[in-house]
Amino acid sequence: MEEIKVKTCLSSYRANSSWFGHHYNLNIYKGCSHGCIYCDSRSDCYRIENFDVVRGKENALLILEKELKSRRKKGVIGSGAMSDPYNPQERIYQLTRQSLQLIDRYRFGISLTTKSSLIERDLDLLVQIKKHSAVLVLMTITTAQDELASIIEPGASKTSQRFETLRKFADAGIPTGILMMPILPFINDNEENIINILHQAKQSGVRSVYPAFGVTLRQNQRDYYYQQLDRHFPGLKQKYIQTFGERYICDSPHAHRLSQLFQRECDHLKIMTKMSDIIADYQSGYGDEQLKLF
């Protein structure tokens, strides 16, 4: 695996993060090979060339340990925002697993976002971290159908496998949630899909679901997305152009109706949807400072 030189792995401390209460961000890899057709990380603004090629960060573990030692404030480290921490290269290099070992050693919390069932390998470490800090496992699920997932997220685990992974973590007492995003206009923005995801989430012991009924498109990301629409959904690109033009935020035409349906179903199934509730739930008991924030 190619390595890139970096000076830091861990972001600066943030006291009031509104995104799942993360105090720090960690991306141990750069790039991702899951091939999701909609991935925002392809955008030019992130300056990631050859995004589908996964690269490690040179001396990443040494740098991370140094940063964890020097941080005066403990907190929850979020990983998975820019590249999936459980890409296929992780089976070989285990940079994510070794990062978790360091996070456990220095008593930080962890919130992981992934589309890969490889995370099951690290269940033991996450159970150990939960003994002293907050832990959250988030699985991105955009469609209840394995067949559609294989088209829009070709390198990721099957949807059915992701639900099974969530069940295993829930059974082990680890708080779990679903990022139900993006819900792609004219592809998976239908009531049946939303209901099926929510009911399977409940069956899998998922505590929360956080949605986005649309997709963002910009720069290089838009070009790649449209190429994939031409390949897998002939004629749909033109519908996007006619509907959204060059708009950055491309909300589903059914967003309002789907949002109402989503909230009704979640209320009925007792699934959390408010970010403040999700943070308070998984960080419950995690130090007076964290509790005061929310």
The answer to whether residue 84 scores a pLDDT higher than 70 is yes
| Range in 56-65, 145-154, 222-231, 284-293 with the lowest mean pLDDT | 284-293
pLDDT of residue 152: 96
3-state DSSP assignment of residue 112: strand
Mean pLDDT of 48-59: 77
Question: pLDDT > 90: what percent of the chain?
Answer: 76
Phi then psi for residue 83, to 5 deg, are -145, 145
- DSSP state letters, 34-47: S--TT-GGGSGGG-
Q: How confident is the model at residue 292 (pLDDT cuts 50, 70, 90)?
A: very low
Taking 50 as the threshold, does the pLDDT of residue 184 lie above it? yes
Give yes or no for a contact between 243 and 215, defined as CB atoms under 8 angstroms apart: no
Mean pLDDT over 147-175 rounds to 97
Between residues 286 and 271, the one the model is more confident about: 271
Helix axes 95-105, 60-70, angle to 10 degrees: 20
CATH topology of domain 3-285: TIM Barrel (3.20.20)
Q: For 76, which DSSP code?
A: E
Q: What is the pLDDT of residue 248?
A: 93
Whether 160 has a pLDDT exceeding 70, the answer reads yes
Coil, helix or strand at residue 3: strand
Residue 287, pLDDT score: 64
Residue 74 has pLDDT above 80, yes or no: yes
Can you give the pLDDT at residue 222? 92
Domain ranges of the chain: 3-285
Q: What is the pLDDT of residue 230?
A: 97
What average pLDDT does the structure give for the chain? 91
Three-state SS sequence of 223-289: HHHHHHHHHHCCCHHHHHHHHHCCCCEEECCCHHHHHHHHHHHHHHHCCECCHHHHHHHHCCCCCHH
| Spatial distance between the Cα atoms of 151 and 159, rounded to a whole number of angstroms | 12
- What would the pLDDT profile of 37-51 be if each residue is shown by its tens digit? 998 877 766 666 677
pLDDT at res. 48:
65
Q: Helix, strand, or coil here: 62? A: helix
Tokens of 178: 């679903």
Helices 95-105 and 123-130, interaxial angle, to 10°? Answer: 20
Mean per-residue pLDDT for 225-236? 96
Q: In which band, very low, low, confident or very high, does the pLDDT at 290 lie, cut at 50, 70 and 90?
A: very low
Q: Residue 291 above 70 pLDDT? A: no
**Residue 5 pLDDT > 50, yes or no?**
yes
Q: How high is the pLDDT of residue 45?
A: 62
Q: Is 136 helix (H, G, I), strand (E, B) or coil?
A: strand
Exposure letters 193-208 (e unless 16+ CB within 10 A, then b): bbeebbebbbebbbbb
Can you give the three-state secondary structure of 84-97, one letter per residue? CCCCCCHHHHCHHH
pLDDT tens figures, 100-148 = 999 999 999 999 999 999 999 999 999 999 999 999 999 999 999 999 9
